[in-house]
C-alpha cells in the first residue's frame, strides 16, 4: 500500500488563516451590529444629502423669484415709457396738424392782399368787390357789383 503524503504545516501557514475561537452567536451579533451601524450611517448620509439639496433648491427658487421681480419691475417701467412715448407721438401729430393749419392761414393771409391788389389792377374800374372769401380747398369766391 501506498502511504499518503503528509504536508508539513508551518507557522507561516497559520498567519494567513483566520482562527476564531468565539462562539457563533457572538459573531452573528457583531455582524448584525455592524450592518445596523452601516445602515444608520447610510440613512443619515442620505438624509443629509437630501436636506442639502432641498436647501439648495430653496436658495435657487429665491434667486429666481428675485430675478423675476426685477424683470417685472423693468417691464413695468418699459410699459410706462411706451405709454409716454405714444402720448408724445399723438401730441406731436396734433402739433404738426395745428402747425400746418397755421402755416396755411399764414400763407393765405399774406397772399390775400396780393391777390386782391392783382384783381383790382386787372379789373375794369366799374367792377367792385363786396365780399371776398377763400374756401377750404383754396377756392376764391367773391360777390361784387358792376
Segment 128-141 mean pLDDT:
69
Distance CA 30, CA 23 (A): 11
Distance CA 68, CA 70 (A): 5
Distance CA 24, CA 27 (A): 5
Q: Is the model more confident about 128 or about 73?
A: 73
Going from the C-alpha of 5 to that of each of 8, 11, 78, 108, the distances in angstroms are 9, 19, 100, 141
Going by C-beta distance under 8 Å and a sequence separation of 6 or more, which residues neighbour residue 103?
none
Answer yes or no: pTM beyond 0.85.
Answer: no
41 membership: H or E segment, kind and range: helix 24-122
Q: pLDDT of 49-103, one tens digit each?
A: 999 999 999 999 999 999 999 999 999 999 999 999 999 999 999 999 998 888 8
How many residues does the structure list for the chain? 146
Amino acid at each position: 500500500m501506498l502511504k499518503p503524503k503528509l504536508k508539513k504545516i508551518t507557522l507561516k501557514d497559520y498567519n494567513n488563516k483566520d482562527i476564531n475561537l468565539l462562539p457563533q452567536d457572538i459573531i452573528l451579533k457583531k455582524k448584525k451590529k455592524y450592518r445596523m451601524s452601516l445602515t444608520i450611517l447610510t440613512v443619515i448620509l442620505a438624509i443629509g444629502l437630501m436636506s442639502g439639496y432641498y436647501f439648495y433648491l430653496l436658495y435657487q427658487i429665491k434667486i429666481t423669484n428675485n430675478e423675476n421681480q426685477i424683470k417685472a419691475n423693468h417691464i413695468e417701467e418699459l410699459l410706462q415709457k411706451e405709454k409716454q412715448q405714444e402720448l408724445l407721438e399723438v401730441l406731436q401729430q396734433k402739433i404738426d396738424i395745428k402747425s400746418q393749419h397755421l402755416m396755411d392761414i399764414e400763407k393765405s393771409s399774406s397772399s390775400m392782399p396780393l391777390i386782391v391788389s392783382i384783381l383790382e389792377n386787372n379789373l375794369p374800374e366799374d367792377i367792385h368787390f363786396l365780399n371776398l372769401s377763400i374756401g377750404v380747398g383754396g377756392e376764391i369766391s367773391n360777390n361784387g357789383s358792376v
